[in-house]
Amino acid sequence: PPLYIQRYEFVIDFVKENKPKKVVDLGCNDCTLLRKLKFHKEIELLAGLDIDCAVIRAKMYELAPIPTDYLQPGDHPLTIELYQGSVTERDPRTKGFDLVTSIELIEHLQLEDVDRFTEVVFGYMAPVAAIISTPNADFNPLLPGLTGFRHYDHKFEWTKVEFQTWALKVCKEFGYVVAFTGVGQIPAQEESIGFCSQIGVFQIDRSGGDAPRLQNNVAEEHLPYRVLYNVVY
Ligand code: SAM
């Protein structure tokens, strides 16, 4: 299957195995991943955030319940919430999630906004787990005809070492552990290059016991994200 489908499948496999109850997809675009996730009955709250309200709106009504949602209901209602907003801003409605996904998003941010994203996701939202994917620049020479970045809107593309350096700093600063993997395999003789899309799977580090998480006390009534869609079924 195409690479973007492989990335979604990676998330879905993680969900099947880890059964998160609350999942938020950052940079959800036209909600393709959310439409796949809504069939996973353990999920109770499914949220999506994108800065571009037109792309969210394009297909968001396809998240509405379909007959089988009523004929084969889960054990609990499913709430779906879609927001317009930026991952560089803190909104209390994104705190306390079991899983945050950020698939091919960070490379669209300026580097100073990656720093904000890092603080917002790991310092403020503080999910139990996070899946972050981004292109692997080391793989680019294997892509025929590619000059420059893979997409005109990319602000950077990190090598494996650059991605891993960022990720390990995240772990140290915010108390996570990370596993590196990816999708888009390479010919065996070029294994050291890594995957076409590199993925970091972050989990809260509980090895030191359940230390109190860093909590910030900014006025929680500030809700910068705009609700575009909300359904409970
Ligand atoms: N995650 C989807 C996927 O894997 O198919 C879409 C990836 S698309 C390449 C990147 C998305 O990030 C776009 O929908 C874009 O509007 C969104 N985006 C870019 N900057 C953002 C920001 N600061 N906050 C939230 N979303 C942002």
pLDDT tens for residues 99-129?
999 999 999 999 999 999 999 999 999 999 9
202 burial via Cβ count (<10 Å: 0-12, 13-18, 19+): buried
Question: Distance between alpha carbon 180 and the CA centroid of its chain, in Å?
Answer: 15
Number of domains in the chain: 1
Phi first, then psi: give them for residue 84, nearest 5 degrees. Answer: -100, 130
> What percent of the chain has pLDDT above 90?
81
| CA separation for the pair 159, 163 (Å, rounded) | 6
Chain-centroid distance of CA 103 in Å reads 5
Q: 3-state class of 32 per DSSP?
A: helix
- Residue 214 maps to a domain: no
Residue 227 sits in a domain whose CATH number is 3.40.50.150
Q: Is residue 213, in this structure, part of any structural domain at all?
A: no
Percent of the chain with pLDDT over 70: 95
> Cα(183)–Cα(5) distance, rounded to whole angstroms?
10
The rounded radius of gyration (Å) of the Cα atoms in the chain is 18
* Residue 126 placed within a domain: yes
Atom of ligand 1 nearest to the CA of 113: 23
Cβ of 105 less than 6 Å from ligand 1: yes
Average pLDDT, the chain: 93
CB contact at 8 A, 89 and 119: no
Position 215 scores a pLDDT of 56
CA distance 110 to 185: 28
In a domain, 181, yes or no: yes
> Is 50 near ligand 1, meaning CB less than 6 Å away?
yes
User: Residue 128, SS3?
Assistant: coil
* Ligand 1 site-directed mutation target among 12, 29, 106, most atoms within 8 Å of CB: 29
CA-angle at 230, arms to 200 and 118, nearest 5°: 25
Atom of ligand 1 at shortest range from CA of 30: 14
ipTM value > 0.85 = yes
From atom 17 of ligand 1, which residue's Cα is the shortest distance away? 27
Q: CA 175 to CA 46: how far, in whole Å?
A: 25
Is the CB of 108 within 6 Å of ligand 1? yes
Once rounded to an integer, what is the mean pLDDT over residues 63-86? 89
Pairing of strands 129-135, 99-103: parallel
Q: In this model, does residue 190 exceed pLDDT 80?
A: no
Closest CA to 43 of 83, 11, 67, 71: 11
Indicate whether 61 belongs to any domain: yes
Ligand 1 centre distance from Cα of residue 207 (Å): 33
Answer whether residue 138 is part of any domain. Answer: yes
Domain assignment of residue 176, given as a range: 3-208+219-232
Nearest by Cα to 70 from 59, 62, 78: 78
| CA-nearest residue, atom 12 of ligand 1 | 27
> Residue 77: inside a domain, yes or no?
yes
109 within a domain of the structure (yes/no):
yes
CA of 49 to the centre of ligand 1 (A): 8
